[in-house]
Amino acid sequence: MGDSAVGEHPSTNASNTDKSSKSLPGVTSGRKASAQRSGASRPAAGKATDTAKDTTAERGIPAGATARTSASTSPVGKTSAGKKAAVKETPLAKPAAARTAAKKAATKAVAKKTAGKTVARKTATTKDAATKKAAVAKAPAAKKATAAKKATAAKKAAPAKKAPARKPESRVAMVRRARRINRELAELYPYAHPELDFTNPFELLVATVLSAQTTDLRVNQTTPRLFAVCPTPEDMAAMDPERLEELIRPTGFFRAKTKSLLGLSAALRDRFGGEVPGRLEDLVTLPGVGRKTANVVLGNAFGVPGITVDTHFGRLARRFGWTTAEDPDKVEADVAAIFPKSEWTMLSHRVVFHGRRVCHSRKPACGACPVAPLCPAYGEGETDPEKARKLLKYELGGQPGQRLKPPADYPGQPAPPMAAP
Ligand code: SF4
C-alpha cells in the first residue's frame, strides 16, 4: 500500500528510489529484482499498479480493492499517514524525503512523549512535593495529638500523686504572719474602737458587764435610760433591785446582771471611794468582773494595754493559727506572746471588728476577706466573692453601726435608739 501511494508521484519517487538505491547499496539487488518483475519501460503509474498487484497478490488481497483504496485514501500520497505507512511497510525502499518526514514525525512523537513524561514527572514531583508538604504540615499537629494522647495515657497510668505535705509553720513565720494580719486589719479598720457607748470608766464598766450574752447594740440602746436614773456607783448601789431589773431587762439574763451591778456598785462605793480602779488585780475583785471586762476598762478608759478575749477574738485567733486554746485566759496569754504590749488594745478592737463584719462564726465571708491570703482557715466560709460580699455587715455591708454615738471618724451610720415598747 505504501509503495503504491508513493508510486503515484513518479517525478519525485522514481528519482528518490534511485537515490536510495545508490545510498543504500546493500538493498540494490532487491530493487533490481522488483524492477525486473515490473518492467522498466512501463509508465510509472503502471509500475505502481503492478507493484501494488504483486504486493497485494503476495498478501492475498484483491488487486482492485487495493487500487481503490489507495486511490481514494491518498490521492496525493504526501500525507503523514502515508509516510508513516511507507516507513512501516518498506523502510528500505522509501524516499529520503519520506524518511526525513518520518524521522521528524518520530522525533516529534518522541519529543511529545518525553514532554509528556516530563510533564507527568513534573506533575508527579509537584504532587509528591505537595503531599510531602502536607505531610510535613500535618506532622506537628499529629505529633502534638500523639503527645497529648501519651500524656493523658501516662496520667491515667501513673498513680495519683499525693499533694506534698505542707511544712509545719515555724514559730518565727507564724509571728511574722500574725503581725502582717494586724497591719492589714489596721489599714482596713483605721477607725476601730470599742463599740459600747460610754462617757466615763463607770459607764464603760457597767456596759461591759451588761454586754455578756448580748450585742453591743442592745446594750447601747439600753444604757441611756439606766444612766439617766443612776449615773454614779452610789446611785446604782441604792437602786431597788426590781427597778434595776426592769431597766436592764432588754439585755437578757437581767436577774444575774442586776445582782452583779448592785454588788460592784457597792464595792466601788465602799472599797474604792466611788471610783473605778485602774489596776487589773483590783478590777477582777469586783462582782461580775473577769479579765475580759477588766481589760476592756483598762484599755479604753485608762489607756492601759490589754487583750480582750471575747467570743469573736477567741474564734479569729484560732482561725489565724495564733492559738489552739479554747480557754480565754490561755488565748490571751498566747496572743500576748506574739504582739508587743503597745498593740494589745487596738489589736483587740481590730480583730473584734473583723469578726463582727467579715469573719462570722457560721458564715465567714472568705471570698471578700482582705486577709484571706494570710489566713490558714481560708475556705471555711463562702469563697465566691459575689456571695461573700452579701455576708458583710455594719459599715462594710452598708448597715448602721452598733453605737448610737460613734466616734467622729466612724464611716458608717449611727445605730438607732431602741424602739418604744
Ligand atoms: S479568710 Fe475566711 S476564715 Fe480567714 S479571716 Fe478571712 S473570713 Fe475569716
Tens-digit pLDDT profile for the chain (421 aa)? Answer: 333 333 333 333 333 333 333 333 333 333 333 333 333 333 333 333 333 333 333 333 333 333 333 333 333 333 343 344 333 433 333 444 445 454 554 445 444 444 444 444 444 444 444 444 444 444 444 455 555 555 555 455 455 566 667 789 999 999 999 999 999 999 999 999 999 999 999 999 999 999 999 999 999 999 999 999 999 999 999 999 999 999 999 999 999 999 999 999 999 999 999 999 999 999 999 999 999 999 999 999 999 999 999 999 999 999 999 999 999 999 999 999 999 999 999 999 999 999 999 999 999 999 999 999 999 999 999 999 999 999 999 999 999 999 999 999 999 999 999 886 6
* Ligand 1 nearest atom to the CA of residue 369, by list position: 6
* Ligand 1 nearest atom to the CA of residue 379, by list position: 2
pLDDT given at position 143: 53
Whether residues 80 and 193 fall in one domain: no
Whether residues 373 and 268 fall in one domain: yes
| End-to-end alpha carbon distance in the chain | 140
Cell numbers at 344, concatenated: 494589745
The residue out of 43, 73, 100 marking a domain boundary is 100
- Tell me, yes or no, whether 148 lies in a domain: no
CA of 220 to the centre of ligand 1 (A): 28
Pick the catalytic residue: 310, 363, 387, 405?
A: 310
Within 6 A (CB) of ligand 1 lie: 319, 358-359, 364-366, 369, 371-372, 375, 377-378, 380-381
pLDDT given at position 13: 37
pLDDT given at position 419: 80
Whether residues 65 and 177 fall in one domain: no
Whether residues 61 and 185 fall in one domain: no
Whether residues 89 and 208 fall in one domain: no
Per-residue b or e along 218-229, where b marks 16 or more CB atoms closer than 10 Å to that residue's CB: bbbbbbeebbee
Cell numbers at 404, concatenated: 448610737
pLDDT given at position 245: 98
- Tell me, yes or no, whether 43 lies in a domain: yes
- Tell me, yes or no, whether 160 lies in a domain: no
Number of separate domains in the chain: 2
- Tell me, yes or no, whether 116 lies in a domain: no
- Tell me, yes or no, whether 416 lies in a domain: no
Range of the domain at 287: 172-397
- Tell me, yes or no, whether 163 lies in a domain: no
The residue out of 70, 100, 130 marking a domain boundary is 100
- Tell me, yes or no, whether 409 lies in a domain: no
Give backbone dihedrals phi and psi of 380, rounded to 5 degrees, phi first. -65, -25
Domain harbouring 176, CATH code: 1.10.340.30
Whether residues 80 and 180 fall in one domain: no
Whether residues 181 and 60 fall in one domain: no
* Ligand 1 nearest atom to the CA of residue 381, by list position: 2
- Cβ atoms of residues 411 and 395 within 8 Å: yes
Whether residues 201 and 316 fall in one domain: yes
- pTM surpassing 0.95? no
CA of 201 to the centre of ligand 1 (A): 33
The residue out of 64, 85, 100 marking a domain boundary is 100
* Cα gap 276→236, rounded to integer Å: 14
The predicted-structure confidence for 118-171, as pLDDT tens digits, reads as follows 444 444 444 444 444 444 444 444 455 555 555 555 455 455 566 667 789 999
Mutation pick for ligand 1 pocket among 356, 369, 390 (CB with most ligand atoms within 8 Å): 369
- Tell me, yes or no, whether 86 lies in a domain: yes
Give backbone dihedrals phi and psi of 62, rounded to 5 degrees, phi first. -60, 140
Give backbone dihedrals phi and psi of 273, rounded to 5 degrees, phi first. 70, 25
pLDDT given at position 99: 52
Would you call 128 a catalytic residue per the annotation? Answer: no
Q: What DSSP letter does each residue of 316-341 carry, written as one string?
A: HHHHTTS----SHHHHHHHHHTTS-G
Q: Which residues pair with 400 in a beta bridge?
A: 413
Would you call 3 a catalytic residue per the annotation? Answer: no
Whether residues 188 and 79 fall in one domain: no
CA of 346 to the centre of ligand 1 (A): 19
pLDDT given at position 139: 46
Whether residues 96 and 176 fall in one domain: no
Whether residues 51 and 191 fall in one domain: no
Count of CB atoms within 10 A of residue 43's CB? Answer: 9
Pick the catalytic residue: 292, 329, 384, 409?
A: 292
Q: In which residue are the cell numbers 492589714 written? A: 184
Whether residues 67 and 176 fall in one domain: no
